[in-house]
Amino acid sequence: MRLWGEFAKGIYKENPVFKQALGMCPFLAVTTSVENALGMGAASTFVVVCSNFLVSVLRKLIPRKVRIPCYIVIIATFVTLVDMVMNAYAPQLHRSLGIFIPLIVVNCMILGRAEGFANKNTVIKSLADGFGMGVGFTLAMILIASFREILGNGTWLAVNVLGERFHNQPVLIAILAPGAFIIMGFILGTFNILERRKAGR
Amino acid sequence: MAEPRYFELAVSPHVEGHQTTRKVMFDVVIALLPALAAAVWFFGPRALLLVVLSVGAALVAEYASLRFMKRPISFVLDGSAIVTGILLAFNLPPAVPWWIPVAGSAFAIVVAKQAFGGLGHNIMNPALLGRAFLVASFPVLMTAGWIAPGRWQQEGTGLTTSGIPQEQLAEIEGADAITGATPLNIMKQTYDRETMDSRMGEGATEQVRESLSSGGTYLNLFLGKIGGCIGETSGLLLLLGALYLVARGVLEVRLPLSYLGTVALLGWVFGGSGWFNGDPLFHVLAGGVILGGLFMVSDMVTTPVTPKGRVIFGVGAGLITMIVRRWGGYPEGCSYSILLMNLATPLIDRYTRPRILGEVKKSG
């Protein structure tokens, strides 16, 4: 039951994007479509689970003073794996995510979990935590990508949802950079309102 | 019966100004009316419809936001939403579909103003941010849709969207290519001499340039007999409105003067084909700098409060405007220049803060 708690906290209570404001770069940059968000979410989940696992296994071996470089090496290993596998089996997705695949290395959500959790918890707990954070990150990406793709292109997962007329004349700004910031602002605002309501009760 | 109170005690401020937000805002509305009348005269009743839709949407959005945020609903009537609505509509091409001003106003009020905390807390000019939103979202609709003034009344009024008098236009080869564009569109084309010459014949660039700098063009530009955004075309009537504001003590002249002065100076320096042979008068009269300079650069909330800061703001905005016009991707840079300087306003205010009486200047 404790394991379930480690997993579930990543989804809402300690959601990496909305509660910890980690991983903003991919969150803002690649969420122009739900497909990209899913791909990026899956790749990041894989990396955070694997790196949490390895960091937790090696936590007693890694000298304290050089722990950050060690984490980076571990994370970079898995990112390289993801990069190559995606390039081989999903070249289309690999192309549309572009530079943001190698940049998973510096996603602070992953480094943050290594430093803040895996480094002082058991292997099993770290796996659950990594998986929860990964899923929470993916859900957050899908949430903002849904707004952006529907408003900016009239589609959801490439399926036309708002009709042909809207598709031909969408609110383009939603899939441009400023749209990402504006929509993120509104989502964070909504979360704050929900929090405040909960606290007020 | 109440006792007469001889020694009334009160906290500061002890001297109160006569201006209220409401008075200021309605003065601005009055000042914008002549330009609105010109818009209706030149572009037809449709222009009025767009302005009304824009103002209506702004009021509804203001009411909804205040309701949502549980603020006093009476703020709706302070007139600031009406001013935003009018200014936003003034920034639109006259042939845009009806939902454009509605979407732009709603964005201006909800995102650019109320999300930041309402009037007085907004960092950027709401009307201009609304326009930037529309240009980014619907680029095709916002950069076409120019109509020749008077076209709605009857065909062949002798007026062109370019402001170049028709008899002069007839002398230029390939004139059809430049009849549907605003003066600034054409100015932009003349910067690329090779393309223009190859399309319209040898020497066409010079000929077009001369026509843009002719007395007839100046007159059309000044009166507003040109294609352009709904409220930006008539320099004369905008000036009339601005004079009213100066007389009422609402408009402070440093901002507009430094802005328009910079545009004129830089128009002369690099607004032409080479250096120091540009046409300053054209650059001031064409496009949106008169509207922007008189009614948006002077927005009280989003511009510096110190005298020195205001001059810095005006010069900076003028510089950015001219850089966009000459080298940027758009024919007109007025709105972006003001938005960018809006962002610099807190910094400008901090560095130009006047010394408090008796404050010792820090050495080193």
Q: Is the pLDDT of residue B158 over 70?
A: no
Minimal Cβ distance to B133: which of A169, A173, A185: A173
**Number of structural domains in chain B:** 3
Q: Is the pLDDT of residue A3 over 90?
A: no
Of A18-27, B152-161, B235-244, the least confident: B152-161
In which band, very low, low, confident or very high, does the pLDDT at B76 lie, cut at 50, 70 and 90?
confident
For B262-317, what is each residue's pLDDT tens digit?
999 999 998 877 788 888 888 898 888 999 999 998 888 899 999 999 999 999 99
CB atoms within 10 A of CB B275: 9
Which residues of B fall below an 8 Å CB-CB distance to A?
103, 111, 115, 133, 136-139, 141
The closest of B294, B293, B289, B282 to B243, measured between CA atoms, is: B294
Domain's final residue, options B88, B110, B143:
B143
Q: Is the pLDDT of residue A189 over 70?
A: yes
ipTM of the complex: 0.85
Q: Are residues B91 and B123 in the same domain?
A: yes
In which band, very low, low, confident or very high, does the pLDDT at B364 lie, cut at 50, 70 and 90?
low
Which residues of A fall below an 8 Å CB-CB distance to B?
169-174, 176, 178, 182, 185, 189
For residues A154 and A149, what is the distance between their CA atoms, to the nearest angstrom? 6
For residues B127 and B135, what is the distance between their CA atoms, to the nearest angstrom? 12
Q: What pLDDT does B183 receive?
A: 83
The closest of A160, A168, A137 to A18, measured between CA atoms, is: A137
Chain A nearest-CA residue for B116: A185
Q: What pLDDT does B224 receive?
A: 83
DSSP state of A4: H
* Those residues with Cβ within 8 angstroms of residue B148's Cβ, 6 or more apart along the chain or in another chain: B157, B159, B160, B161, B179, B227
Minimal Cβ distance to A178: which of B115, B136, B141: B136
Chain B residues within an 8 Å CB radius of A170: 137
Residue B91 lies in a domain: yes
Query: Can the peptide bond before residue B13 be classed as cis, meaning omega within 30 degrees of 0?
Result: yes
Query: Taking every pair of C-alpha atoms in chain B, what is the biggest distance, in angstroms?
Result: 92
For B182-197, what is each residue's pLDDT tens digit?
888 888 888 877 777 7
Determine the structural domain holding residue B29 and report its residue range. Answer: 21-143
Chain A nearest-CA residue for B69: A193
Q: A14 to chain B nearest CA, in Å?
A: 26
In which band, very low, low, confident or very high, does the pLDDT at A80 lie, cut at 50, 70 and 90?
very high
Q: What pLDDT does B182 receive?
A: 81
In which band, very low, low, confident or very high, does the pLDDT at B174 lie, cut at 50, 70 and 90?
low
Contact B111 A169 (CB under 8 A): no
Q: Are residues B36 and B113 in the same domain?
A: yes
Q: Are residues B174 and B75 in the same domain?
A: no
Q: What is the 3-state secondary structure (H, E, C) of chain B?
A: CCCCCCCCCCCCCCCCCCCCHHHHHHHHHHHHHHHHHHHHHHHCHHHHHHHHHHHHHHHHHHHHHHHHCCCCHHHHHHCHHHHHHHHHHHCCCCCCCCHHHHHHHHHHHHHHHHHHCCCCCCCCCHHHHHHHHHHHHCHHHHHCCCCCCCCCCCCCCCCCCCCCCHHHHHHCCCHHHHCCCCHHHHHHHHCCHHHHHHHHCCCHHHHHHHHHCCHHHHHHHHHCCCCCCCCCCCHHHHHHHHHHHHHCCCCCCHHHHHHHHHHHHHHHHHCCCCCCCCCHHHHHHCCCHHHHHHHHCCCCCCCCCCHHHHHHHHHHHHHHHHHHHHHCCCCCCHHHHHHHHHHHHHHHHHHCCCCCCCCCCCCC
Q: What are phi and psi of B182, to 5 degrees?
A: -75, 160
Q: Are B102 and B54 in contact (CB under 8 A)?
A: yes
The three-state secondary structure class of A101 is: coil
For residues B275 and B212, what is the distance between their CA atoms, to the nearest angstrom? 18
Contact B136 A169 (CB under 8 A): no
Q: A47 to chain B nearest CA, in Å?
A: 36
Average pLDDT of the segment spanning B218-225: 84
The closest of A5, A55, A53, A36 to A138, measured between CA atoms, is: A36
**Number of structural domains in chain A:** 1
Q: B362 to chain A nearest CA, in Å?
A: 40
In which band, very low, low, confident or very high, does the pLDDT at A146 lie, cut at 50, 70 and 90?
very high
Residue B6, CA atoms < 13 Å, CB-side half-sphere: 0
The closest of B90, B134, B91, B118 to B301, measured between CA atoms, is: B118
For B92-128, what is each residue's pLDDT tens digit?
998 899 999 999 999 999 999 999 988 889 999 999 9
* Those residues with Cβ within 8 angstroms of residue B342's Cβ, 6 or more apart along the chain or in another chain: B123, B124, B125, B128, B302, B303
Q: What pLDDT does B314 receive?
A: 95
Contact A173 B111 (CB under 8 A): no
Residue B88 lies in a domain: yes
Q: Is the pLDDT of residue B10 over 80?
A: no
Q: What separation in angstroms does the CA of A150 have from each of A33, A137, B61?
A: 9, 20, 22
Residue A68, CA atoms < 13 Å, CB-side half-sphere: 4
In which band, very low, low, confident or very high, does the pLDDT at A60 lie, cut at 50, 70 and 90?
very high
Determine the structural domain holding residue A72 and report its residue range. Answer: 2-199
Q: Is the pLDDT of residue A34 over 90?
A: yes
At B329, the amino acid letter reads G
Q: Are B254 and B300 in contact (CB under 8 A)?
A: no
* H-helix segments, chain A: 2-8, 24-29, 34-57, 67-89, 91-97, 108-116, 123-153, 164-168, 177-200
For B28-53, what is each residue's pLDDT tens digit?
999 999 999 999 988 888 899 999 99
Q: Is the pLDDT of residue A36 over 80?
A: yes
Give which of A147, A167, A173 to mutate to test B binding, by max B Cβ within 10 Å.
Answer: A173
* Alpha carbon A193 to its chain's center: 23
Helix H or strand E encompassing A159: strand A159-160
Average pLDDT of the segment spanning B147-169: 67
Chain A residues within an 8 Å CB radius of B137: 170-174
Contact A169 B133 (CB under 8 A): no
Structure tokens at B362: 């820090």
Residue B241 lies in a domain: no
Q: What pLDDT does B178 receive?
A: 61
Helix H or strand E encompassing A160: strand A159-160
Q: Is the pLDDT of residue A134 over 90?
A: yes
Chain A residues within an 8 Å CB radius of B133: 173
Q: Is the pLDDT of residue B157 over 60?
A: no
In which band, very low, low, confident or very high, does the pLDDT at B146 lie, cut at 50, 70 and 90?
confident
Residue B154 lies in a domain: no
User: Mean pLDDT in chain B?
Assistant: 85
For residues A84 and A46, what is the distance between their CA atoms, to the nearest angstrom? 14
Chain A residues within an 8 Å CB radius of B136: 172-173, 176, 178
CB atoms within 10 A of CB A32: 21
Q: What pLDDT does B358 receive?
A: 77
Residue B62 lies in a domain: yes
Q: What pLDDT does B175 receive?
A: 64
Q: Is the pLDDT of residue B161 over 60?
A: yes
Q: Is the pLDDT of residue A31 over 60?
A: yes
Q: What separation in angstroms does the CA of B195 have from each of B205, B273, B323, B325, B329?
A: 9, 14, 21, 18, 16
Minimal Cβ distance to A176: which of B111, B136, B141: B136
Minimal Cβ distance to B136: which of A169, A173, A185: A173
Chain B nearest-CA residue for A185: B115
Q: Are residues B129 and B171 in the same domain?
A: no
Q: Are A110 and A10 in contact (CB under 8 A)?
A: no
Of A128-142, B150-164, B216-230, the least confident: B150-164
At B349, the amino acid letter reads D
Q: Are residues B48 and B132 in the same domain?
A: yes
Q: Is the pLDDT of residue A1 over 90?
A: no
* Those residues with Cβ within 8 angstroms of residue A3's Cβ, 6 or more apart along the chain or in another chain: A124, A125, A128
Chain B residues within an 8 Å CB radius of A169: 138, 141
Q: Are residues B184 and B273 in the same domain?
A: no
Q: What are phi and psi of A159, to 5 degrees?
A: -100, 130
Give which of A148, A165, A169 to mutate to test B binding, by max B Cβ within 10 Å.
Answer: A169
Contact B137 A185 (CB under 8 A): no
Average pLDDT of the segment spanning A96-118: 92
Contact B136 A182 (CB under 8 A): no
Q: What pLDDT does B35 receive?
A: 92
Contact A182 B111 (CB under 8 A): yes
Average pLDDT of the segment spanning A94-104: 92
Minimal Cβ distance to B138: which of A169, A176, A182: A169
For residues A15 and A181, what is the distance between their CA atoms, to the nearest angstrom? 18
The percentage of chain B sitting over the pLDDT mark of 90, rounded to a whole number, equals 43
For residues B347 and A169, what is the distance between their CA atoms, to the nearest angstrom? 38
Inter-chain Cβ pairs, chain A and chain B, closer than 8 A:
19
Does the reported pTM lie above 0.80? yes
Structure tokens at A60: 């007693």
Q: What pLDDT does B210 receive?
A: 79
Q: What pLDDT does B363 receive?
A: 62
In which band, very low, low, confident or very high, does the pLDDT at B349 lie, cut at 50, 70 and 90?
very high
Chain A residues within an 8 Å CB radius of B339: none
Q: What pLDDT does B154 receive?
A: 54
Chain B residues within an 8 Å CB radius of A178: 136
Q: What pLDDT does A178 receive?
A: 92
